[in-house]
């Protein structure tokens, strides 16, 4: 989807030109009816899929996706994301539950009649067809002609065939221009780079002008730089097309950068649905907290020790973590003394500090990873390895192997009970 990859101009101006160009071309496409998909809402109700008796790949998923929403299904490998997407596409039968697209139950509707276009990880291009042939393929198969015998006598067959072919060519060219692959239309897929192939796959979906786009890990085969560039362009494309998009990835960063809303799955079960910031700031359980965010949240397993004043105190490997009542309310009323809890701290809320700082815990720095303006400090604190992310200026003369103290701020902590469920804050 990069529009012009070989400019010698600075990155910022290239980006700006691309954005403007995409918008201009899309306006043109829309005027021609290429980029104005019907919008569609999707509703999944108690959807389950079982491939084998006794095990569920998707277990009772319910989800409402609004018109023009960009929803990302995310979770570790094998959690059921692709199965869920394939059920929406009609490529897998549902074992239980219903799928509605724009209010119509489509469980028994064939994939080709669901007005959906799907883009796969492996591009699924026909190696025997050119880029143009691949992009035209779906439309060519849907062309409508008068019956052959009538065509023979009237000559209408040839005329309509020519007209339709020209219209399809126009749509292919417009979509190819949008995606920056017009000069490649004559090439075979084997003559393209991975990024170009993925653009062809996207173009093939775009020319169909569907109500819903489904993406199954479409960027996984690309290198990190191209992936991040294409994410941005996909987001721009979504905003311009205003189409409903459902996107599957195992990469939470990709999910965070693309989604209007994220659906986190684990073992076929939906764990949480929400906007990226909501999932980051208010994860519903330990799994979501650990899955969303980079570096991953530090999980400190301790016990609820006592109430001191109004504040709760969790003991953790000989240290005390104070959870202020101003944030947590009366935790003493919610937790039994001595019960196990997990205090979750985002790496950017953990910071190296002076050893005398109240509430700090001593440890040893095992790795110092520098990322320009930011650094990750990986330290062994008691039996636990924690990661702190901070500005490079805070590292000072620290070296790997040095003793280090970490300040734990209970005000920005997350708290999970022994079953991994998040305990709500009072604000």
| Contact set with ligand ADP (CB under 6 A) | 51, 57, 75, 77-83
Nearer to ligand ADP, 57 or 413 (CB): 57
Q: Which residues are CB-contacts of 316 (< 8 A; sequence separation ≥ 6)?
A: 300, 301, 302, 343, 361, 382
Strand order in the sheet with 298-308: 319-323, 311-316, 298-308, 340-345, 414-416
Minimum distance from CB of 59 to ligand ADP (Å)? Answer: 11
**Residue whose C-alpha is closest to residue 335's, from 427, 420, 418:** 418
Locate tokens 């195992």: which residue?
Answer: 250
Nearer to ligand ADP, 83 or 240 (CB): 83
Minimum distance from CB of 254 to ligand ADP (Å)? Answer: 14
- For residue 113, give both structure tokens: 């009649």
Minimum distance from CB of 248 to ligand ADP (Å)? Answer: 6
Minimum distance from CB of 311 to ligand ADP (Å)? Answer: 41
Nearer to ligand ADP, 81 or 414 (CB): 81
Nearer to ligand ADP, 81 or 199 (CB): 81
Minimum distance from CB of 79 to ligand ADP (Å)? Answer: 4
Nearer to ligand ADP, 75 or 203 (CB): 75
Nearer to ligand ADP, 134 or 252 (CB): 252
Neighbours of 372 (CB within 10 A): 6
Question: Do residues 212 and 42 touch, judged by C-beta distance below 8 A?
Answer: yes
Phi first, then psi: what are they for 353, rounded to 5°? -150, 175
Return the SS3 of 411: helix
Minimum distance from CB of 268 to ligand ADP (Å)? Answer: 7
Question: Do residues 194 and 122 touch, judged by C-beta distance below 8 A?
Answer: no
Angle between helices 131-141 and 156-178 (to 10 degrees): 130
Question: For residues 28 and 377, what is the distance between their CA atoms, to the nearest angstrom?
Answer: 50
Question: Do residues 406 and 298 touch, judged by C-beta distance below 8 A?
Answer: no
Nearer to ligand ADP, 86 or 199 (CB): 86
Minimum distance from CB of 255 to ligand ADP (Å)? Answer: 13
Nearer to ligand ADP, 292 or 342 (CB): 292
Question: For residues 289 and 416, what is the distance between their CA atoms, to the nearest angstrom?
Answer: 10
Minimum distance from CB of 85 to ligand ADP (Å)? Answer: 8
Nearer to ligand ADP, 73 or 341 (CB): 73
Nearer to ligand ADP, 81 or 197 (CB): 81
Nearer to ligand ADP, 15 or 50 (CB): 50
Minimum distance from CB of 73 to ligand ADP (Å)? Answer: 8
Minimum distance from CB of 13 to ligand ADP (Å)? Answer: 39
How many Cα atoms within 13 Å fall on the side-chain side of residue 181? 32
Angle between helices 131-141 and 194-207 (to 10 degrees): 20
Question: For residues 420 and 338, what is the distance between their CA atoms, to the nearest angstrom?
Answer: 16
DSSP of 133-151: HHHHHHHHHT-----HHHH
Write down the number of H helices and E strands in the chain.
11, 20
Minimum distance from CB of 270 to ligand ADP (Å)? Answer: 12
Angle between helices 11-32 and 224-241 (to 10 degrees): 40
**Residue whose C-alpha is closest to residue 44's, from 233, 273, 221, 243:** 273
């Amino acid at each position: 989807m990069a529009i012009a990859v070989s400019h010698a101009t600075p990155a910022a101006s290239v980006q700006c030109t691309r954005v403007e160009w995409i918008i201009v071309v899309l306006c043109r496409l829309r005027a021609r009816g290429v980029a104005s998909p019907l919008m569609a809402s999707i509703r999944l109700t108690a959807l389950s899929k079982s491939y084998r008796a006794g095990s569920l790949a998707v277990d009772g998923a319910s989800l409402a996706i609004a018109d023009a929403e960009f929803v990302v299904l995310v979770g570790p490998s094998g959690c059921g994301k692709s199965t869920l997407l394939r059920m929406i596409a009609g490529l897998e039968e549902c074992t239980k539950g219903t799928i509605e697209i724009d209010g119509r139950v489509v469980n028994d509707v064939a994939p080709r009649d669901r007005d959906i276009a799907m883009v796969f990880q492996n591009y699924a291009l026909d190696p025997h067809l050119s880029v143009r042939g691949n992009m035209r393929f779906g439309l060519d198969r849907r062309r409508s002609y008068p019956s052959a015998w009538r065509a023979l006598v009237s000559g209408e067959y040839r005329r309509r065939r020519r007209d339709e072919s020209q219209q399809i060519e126009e749509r292919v060219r417009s979509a190819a221009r949008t995606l920056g692959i017009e000069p490649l239309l004559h090439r075979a897929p084997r003559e393209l780079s991975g990024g170009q192939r993925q653009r062809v796959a996207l173009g093939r979906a775009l020319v169909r002008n569907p109500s819903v786009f489904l993406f199954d890990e479409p960027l996984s085969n690309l290198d990190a730089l191209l992936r991040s560039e294409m994410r941005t362009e996909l987001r721009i494309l979504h905003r311009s097309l205003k189409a409903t998009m459902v996107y599957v990835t195992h990469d939470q960063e990709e999910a965070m950068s693309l989604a209007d809303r994220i659906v986190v799955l684990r073992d076929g079960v939906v764990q949480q649905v929400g906007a990226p910031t909501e999932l980051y700031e208010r994860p519903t359980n330990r799994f979501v907290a650990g899955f969303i965010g980079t570096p991953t949240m530090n999980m400190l397993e301790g016990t609820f020790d006592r109430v001191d004043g109004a504040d709760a105190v969790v003991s953790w490997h000989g240290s005390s973590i104070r959870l202020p009542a101003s944030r947590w309310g009366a935790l003493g009323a919610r937790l039994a003394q001595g019960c196990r809890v997990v205090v979750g701290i985002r790496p950017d809320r953990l910071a190296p500090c002076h050893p005398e700082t109240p509430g700090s815990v001593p440890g040893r720095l095992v790795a110092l990873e520098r990322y320009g303006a930011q650094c990750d400090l990986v330290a062994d604190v008691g039996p636990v390895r924690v990661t702190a992310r901070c500005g490079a200026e805070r590292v000072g003369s620290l070296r790997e192997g040095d003793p280090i103290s970490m300040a734990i701020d209970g005000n920005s902590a997350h708290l999970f009970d022994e079953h991994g469920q998040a305990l709500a804050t009072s604000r």
